[in-house]
């Protein structure tokens, strides 16, 4: 019994070390590919300060971890078992009467622990972090966080269809005061308003313009009216209270998401397939951490005479196939071709079936 404890600790230690390395690698890749681009966009396009944008990114990290934990488990499983094979340790263990199934026990326990951790992060931390990130972004946008000392920059305000509603150009910002402002208001269908002022300022509800002129142009480009003013206020209608109610599924835990889906159905919104898929993914994604270890073990077992470690290559290939299948099944689910439950669980069903067959063959038939 004591030898098994030593063996389990030996394998678990290697799993944890490789898992942490995998988490760092995959989280960095996902951060660099998507989150970093959004960070730069928020700073350059919307005038959000670097500190606020960085804090929003940090609040987004838990949702990234939910996706990278299964990746880390797979990488840890394949690299650890493959290393034991290359060092002939698996051969020695089997010669001592330790089967592949018993050798895999710490891997399975590690996968279950990772799945539980992933579930609680996704259920308790991710919703709260996403809400805070959204609130912080909305607050920064409504306050128009203009970096002091910045020159020649612009803001865009979009309508509900994602089209430009208003465009603001600022010559420079000095001591919190805006200089040389040009505003293009396209919120009306039959006219365009151009506002030019020497000075200005912002607050959550409107822009202040001082010492300027306002031109109203028709669709044909003719000047309809012109007004000189000492002070003018342009209400942006950037109502955060309405946007706060328009919450995304990632901002709810499992129980609250069920209530939100029921609320949408009562409102007459029958197109809740996407919400139902995300509801089932609350369990499907964490379970992936365990199932992906099952398929990783047989693929990692190689002959001791193999000349190179194929673990990392197998990890990338499996992850590519998994997320390709996941994207395909979700697309079918959102199109209501597949049932939402099947859409969320199809990748796991495929992994469990293939992994179970491969593991049974490696552990009991060879």
Mean pLDDT value across residues 114-127? 94
Name 166's Cβ contacts closer than 8 Å, sequence gap at least 6. 156, 157, 183, 184, 185, 186, 187, 234, 236
pLDDT at 174: 76
Q: Distance of CA 262 to CAs 164, 193, 258, 337, Å? A: 34, 43, 6, 22
In this predicted structure, which of 169-183, 185-199, 238-252 has the lowest mean pLDDT? Answer: 238-252
Structural tokens at position 153: 């920059």
* Average pLDDT for the chain: 82
pLDDT tops 90 at residue 286: yes
pLDDT tops 50 at residue 243: no
pLDDT tops 60 at residue 146: no
Mean pLDDT value across residues 205-229? 83
* Better-predicted residue by pLDDT, 164 or 230: 230
pLDDT tops 80 at residue 139: no
Mean pLDDT value across residues 9-14? 92
With cut-offs at 50, 70 and 90, classify the pLDDT of residue 347.
very high
Name 106's Cβ contacts closer than 8 Å, sequence gap at least 6. 7, 8, 11, 12, 15
With cut-offs at 50, 70 and 90, classify the pLDDT of residue 305.
low
Q: What share of the chain is helix, strand, coil (3-state, %, to 5)?
A: 65, 20, 20
Rounded to whole angstroms, the Cα distance separating 154 from 210 reads: 18
Q: Distance of CA 275 to CAs 31, 58, 341, 358, Å? A: 25, 25, 11, 34
Per-residue pLDDT of 223-238, as tens digits, reads 888 888 888 887 665 4
Q: What is the CA radius of gyration of the chain?
A: 28
Rounded to whole angstroms, the Cα distance separating 167 from 174 reads: 20
Residue 213 pairs in a beta bridge with 196, 228
pLDDT tops 90 at residue 155: no
pLDDT at 288: 94
Which one, of 59, 93, 79, 121, lies nearest residue 286 by Cα?
121
Mean pLDDT value across residues 151-164? 69
Mean pLDDT value across residues 146-169? 70
Do the beta carbons of residue 156 and residue 164 sit within 8 Å? yes
**Greatest mean pLDDT among 40-54, 95-109, 148-162:** 95-109
pLDDT at 148: 58
Rounded to whole angstroms, the Cα distance separating 238 from 309 reads: 56
Mean pLDDT value across residues 192-205? 82
Q: Where are the domains of the chain?
A: 2-142+246-365, 151-241
Rounded to whole angstroms, the Cα distance separating 255 from 258 reads: 5
Q: Say whether 339 sits in a helix, a strand or coil.
A: coil
**Length of the chain (residues):** 366
């Amino acid at each position: 019994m004591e030898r098994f404890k030593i063996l389990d600790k030996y394998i678990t230690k290697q799993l944890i070390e490789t898992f942490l390395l995998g988490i760092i690698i995959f989280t960095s890749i996902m951060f660099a590919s998507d989150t970093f681009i959004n960070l730069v966009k928020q700073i350059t396009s919307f005038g959000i300060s670097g500190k606020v944008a960085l804090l929003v990114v940090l609040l987004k990290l838990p949702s990234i971890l939910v996706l990278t934990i299964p990746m880390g488990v797979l990488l840890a499983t394949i690299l650890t078992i493959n290393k034991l094979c290359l060092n002939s340790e698996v051969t020695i263990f089997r010669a001592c009467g330790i089967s592949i199934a018993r050798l895999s026990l710490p891997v399975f326990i590690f996968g279950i622990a990772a799945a539980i951790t992933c579930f609680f992060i996704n259920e308790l931390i991710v919703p709260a972090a996403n809400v805070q990130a959204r609130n912080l972004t909305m607050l920064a946008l409504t306050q128009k966080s203009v970096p002091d000392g910045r020159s020649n920059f612009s803001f865009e305000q979009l309508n509900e269809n994602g089209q430009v509603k208003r465009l603001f150009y600022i010559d420079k910002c000095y001591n919190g005061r805006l200089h040389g402002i040009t505003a293009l208001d396209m919120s009306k269908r039959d006219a365009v308003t151009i506002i030019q002022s020497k000075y200005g300022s912002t607050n959550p509800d409107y822009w202040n313009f001082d010492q300027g002129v306002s031109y109203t142009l028709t669709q044909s480009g003719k000047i309809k009216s012109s007004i000189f003013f000492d002070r003018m206020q342009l209400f942006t209608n950037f109502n955060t209270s309405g946007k706060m109610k328009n919450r995304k599924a990632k901002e709810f835990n499992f129980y609250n998401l069920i209530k939100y889906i029921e609320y949408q159905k009562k409102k007459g919104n029958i197109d809740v397939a996407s919400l139902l898929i995300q509801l089932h993914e609350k369990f499907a994604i964490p379970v992936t951490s365990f199932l992906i270890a099952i398929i990783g073990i047989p693929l990692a077992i190689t002959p001791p005479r193999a000349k190179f470690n194929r673990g990392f290559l197998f990890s990338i290939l499996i992850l590519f196939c998994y997320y390709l299948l996941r994207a395909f099944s979700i697309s079918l689910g959102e199109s209501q071709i597949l049932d939402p439950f099947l859409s969320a669980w199809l990748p796991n069903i495929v992994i469990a079936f293939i992994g179970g067959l491969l593991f049974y063959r490696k552990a009991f038939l060879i």
